Amino acid sequence: MDFTSLLAFKKSFQLAMRIFEISKSFPIEEKYSLTDQIRRSSRSVPANIAEAYRKRAYPKHFTSKLSDSDAENSETFTWLLFANKCNYINSEIFQELSNEIEEVGKLTHFMMNNPSKFGVKLK
């Protein structure tokens, strides 16, 4: 299995790409703040899942990278809150993206709680 076939990776990658497309419409004055931050945090989610998968020979590193992914997922949600409150995205888009963030969080937690299902050798 390759990390790109993990459901958590696929969903988080799709979410990051969706956020990238949506953030293109953010005001230019947000380019180096909100736009940059939400793109970075959303991209860090699948990147950390990929790193976790490659570190599965080391159970604590596997869990640590997934924890980083979960933290970045929460950060992305926070930036979405700002985007919604600043009226850069409407409530419907906010809710859709929030649901996707929640799903990615559940998948990441499943990986953390079931490392042996992902090739982690527990001692």
pLDDT, one tens digit for every residue, the chain (123 residues): 699 999 999 999 999 999 999 999 999 999 999 999 999 999 999 999 999 999 999 999 999 999 999 999 999 999 999 999 999 999 999 999 999 999 999 999 999 999 999 999 887
Q: Residue 103 has what pLDDT?
A: 98
Q: Residue 106 has what pLDDT?
A: 98
Token representation of residue 42: 């959303």
CB 98 within 8 A of CB 19: no
Domain borders along the chain are: 3-118
Question: What's the pTM?
Answer: 0.95
Q: Residue 74 has what pLDDT?
A: 98
Separation of alpha carbons 10 and 6, rounded Å: 6
Indicate the CATH number for domain 3-118: 1.20.1440.60
Q: Residue 66 has what pLDDT?
A: 98
How would you write 39-65 as a 3-class SS string?
HHHHHHHHHHHHHHHHCCCCHHHHHHH
Q: Residue 100 has what pLDDT?
A: 98
Separation of alpha carbons 98 and 63, rounded Å: 24
Q: Residue 122 has what pLDDT?
A: 82
Token representation of residue 27: 């005001």
